[in-house]
Structure 1
Amino acid sequence: MPIKIPNDLPAFEKLQQEGVRLIGENEALRQDIRPMQIALLNLMPEKPKTETQLARLLGATPLQVELTLLTTSTYRPNTVPLSHLQAFYKTWDEVRDRKFDGLIVTGAPVEMLPFEEVKYWRELTEILDWSRTNVHTSFHICWGAQAALYHFHGVPKHILPTKRFGVYTHYVIERRDAQRPPLMRGFDDYFLVPVSRHTEVRAADLPKDAGLEILAVSNAAGLCLLHEPEHRTVYMFNHLEYDTYTLHDEYCRDKATRADVSLPVNYYPDDDPDKPPRNCWRAYAHLLFGNWINEMYQTTPYELERIGTVAQPQAA
């Protein structure tokens, strides 16, 4: 089934060229099904790129998805034209009375700041609290995951000596005599993930009684994926959603401003930036988001207004 996004959104044409099934308003109304309502709070500076990356993954599942793009009400980013925000985004104030099956909160280029010094921190904490009653399941990425862990559980972030940057091997945490969690179904024991961070969250800082499950880690890059089943919340500290050239673009951007920029680890063939990188994580990105949406579909109430009013079962 397709994903519903505005026809004139910049991501529309690119995804259409890739063969992602897209749906217009009239066709959506003719289909006698309830689409999964997913909100994307996009805090990234290059918003069209992030819209494309995540819409590509959400549109690859068997379910119809209706995507609502969100921005903050109290802070207007200056890295995207106001016309783009006005045409395609809603502020949180405009949707705070609605219910959603899913919420995705992206990373943001503010990870070196203390959380409380981020200009929209107060509003973000209100959105996070709102998500506990108005959203069935949440998926937080990179700084968005650090921010949510800090707000809900007081987990600190730690500044790294150098930027952790590249494609790192991760492994699934196996539990003897236990089934794999739904989010990890179909994953190889080891898999590759793009990483781009100046900070980290450490396993030793996770509260023992918070119900946080570690799903995937890396010996070199640390924590990757956590799940909080009680609140159906996913914390992903890295970037499976990245395109093939996203790390390359970051490397070129950093190199243009500083001389001490290291090559991304395990990214370019033979560590030669003149050779095109190879995408070795795409399948896992589709698998993770597909698992997330499948679990959402199995456990969310059919009537959106019931979200947050009754406890919902976990997916089998």
Structure 2
Amino acid sequence: MPIRVPKELPAIKVLEKEKIFVMDEDRAMHQDIRPLEILILNLMPKKDETEVQLLRLLSNTPLQINVEFLHMSSHETKNTSSDHLTRFYYQFKEVKEKFYDGLIITGAPIERIPFEEVDYWEELQEIFKWSTSHVFSTFHICWGAQAGLYHHHKIDKYFLDQKLTGIYAHDVLTPTWSILKGFDDVFFAPHSRYTGVKRRDIEESEELEILVESQEAGLFLVGNKNNRAFYAMGHLEYDRETLQQEFERDQLKGIHPNLPTNYFPNDNTSEVPQLRWHMAASLLFSNWVNYAVYQNTPYDLSTLLGEEK
């Protein structure tokens, strides 16, 4: 089944070339079913790339999904045109009275900035608070996961000795959780960050459980025991070349980045990186949509009002 997006969103052309079924608004109006309502808070600089990555993953489900995009009105976006934001994105004030089955909060390349010093932190806190009564299940990614843990559970991030970047093996610790249904005991996933979350801080929370962990990269997936919030520290949504682009970008900036671990064949930057994580990415997001969202969300979303995660 398709994902439903605005008719002229540029991501549609990319997804159609990949034979991914995308339904525009006109065609979707003739579907007599209740689609899932998913909101994506896109905090990444190159929003069009993240749109393609997340829409690709959300398409791997037999359910019809209405997707809307949200950006921070308190932050000036430099890498995405104002025209694109105006045509395809909402501001929080425009959606705050609505209800959603699911919310995805992306990462942002600002890990080294204290949360309170992020220019849109106040607005983001308002969204976090709103989500507890207007969203059934929220999926947080990388910095979005760290920010969510800090806001909802007072769990702070810590600085790593150096940037964690590369492809790492991960162990599934809780295979009985529905979001991990069908996973092998070990899978690969990308990481790209300067900060992390400590295991003992998660263990001290009565509401959270560690679901997936890497011996090299640390925590990967944390779940709220009520199944309504998930925190992924890595970037399963990344494309094959994303880490390469980040590495080359940092080189141009004179940062002298470390080579991404387990990424380039033979550590040779002229060779094409192997894609080893998209199967896990597709399964994780389809499980989230099916089991955490669709199987449990109320038909009348307005009944979420007053509930807490």
Using the size of structure 1 for normalisation, the TM-score is: 0.94
Which amino acid counterpart does residue 215 of structure 1 have in structure 2?
Answer: L
CA distance, structure 1, for counterparts of residue 46 and residue 263 of structure 2: 22
How far is 1:261 from its partner? Answer: 1.6
Match of 1:264 among 227, 238, 260: 260
Cα pair distance change 1:22/1:239, threshold 3 Å = same
CA distance, structure 1, for counterparts of residue 51 and residue 295 of structure 2: 25
How far is 1:196 from its partner? Answer: 0.3
Q: Say yes or no: does 1:44 pair with 2:44.
A: yes
CA distance, structure 2, for counterparts of residue 223 and residue 209 of structure 1: 15
Q: Say yes or no: does 1:226 pair with 2:229.
A: no
Task: Report the identity percentage.
Answer: 45
Q: Secondary structure of 1:285's partner?
A: helix
Q: Say yes or no: does 1:164 pair with 2:173.
A: no
How many correspondences in the alignment? 308
Partner of 1:249: 245
CA distance, structure 1, for counterparts of residue 308 and residue 129 of structure 2: 17
Cα pair distance change 1:259/1:118, threshold 3 Å = closer
How far is 1:311 from its partner? Answer: 8.5
How far is 1:77 from its partner? Answer: 1.6
Q: Secondary structure of 2:16's partner?
A: helix
How far is 1:260 from its partner? Answer: 2.5
Q: Say yes or no: does 1:240 pair with 2:240.
A: no
Is the 2:43–2:106 Cα contact (8 Å) retained in structure 1? Answer: yes
CA distance, structure 1, for counterparts of residue 5 and residue 182 of structure 2: 28
Q: Secondary structure of 2:295's partner?
A: helix
Match of 1:277 among 266, 273, 277: 273
Using the size of structure 2 for normalisation, the TM-score is: 0.97
Partner of 1:299: 296
How far is 1:307 from its partner? Answer: 2.2
CA distance, structure 2, for counterparts of residue 72 and residue 15 of structure 1: 25
Partner of 2:120: 120
CA distance, structure 1, for counterparts of residue 227 and residue 287 of structure 2: 17
CA distance, structure 1, for counterparts of residue 272 and residue 207 of structure 2: 42
Is the 1:70–1:90 Cα contact (8 Å) retained in structure 2? Answer: yes
Cα pair distance change 1:268/1:95, threshold 3 Å = same
Q: Secondary structure of 1:251's partner?
A: helix
Matches within 5 A, 1:33-72: 33-72=33-72
CA distance, structure 2, for counterparts of residue 216 and residue 5 of structure 1: 31
Cα pair distance change 1:129/1:311, threshold 3 Å = closer
1:25-48 Cα offsets, whole Å, 9 max, x none, are 222111111111000000000000
Q: Say yes or no: does 1:206 pair with 2:228.
A: no
Which amino acid counterpart does residue 195 of structure 1 have in structure 2?
Answer: H
1:260-285 Cα offsets, whole Å, 9 max, x none, are 22111001111111110110000000
Is the 2:133–2:304 Cα contact (8 Å) retained in structure 1? Answer: yes
Cα pair distance change 1:207/1:150, threshold 3 Å = farther
* CA-atom RMSD in angstroms: 1.4
Q: Secondary structure of 1:63's partner?
A: coil
Which amino acid counterpart does residue 260 of structure 1 have in structure 2?
Answer: H
Is the 2:7–2:25 Cα contact (8 Å) retained in structure 1? Answer: no
Matches within 5 A, 1:170-189: 170-174=170-174, 180-189=176-185
Q: Secondary structure of 1:56's partner?
A: helix
CA distance, structure 2, for counterparts of residue 223 and residue 69 of structure 1: 28
Is the 1:153–1:207 Cα contact (8 Å) retained in structure 2? Answer: no
CA distance, structure 1, for counterparts of residue 255 and residue 152 of structure 2: 38
Which amino acid counterpart does residue 93 of structure 2 have in structure 1?
Answer: D
Which amino acid counterpart does residue 203 of structure 1 have in structure 2?
Answer: R
Is the 2:133–2:308 Cα contact (8 Å) retained in structure 1? Answer: no
Which amino acid counterpart does residue 187 of structure 2 have in structure 1?
Answer: F
1:248-302 Cα offsets, whole Å, 9 max, x none, are 1111111112262211100111111111011000000000000000011010011
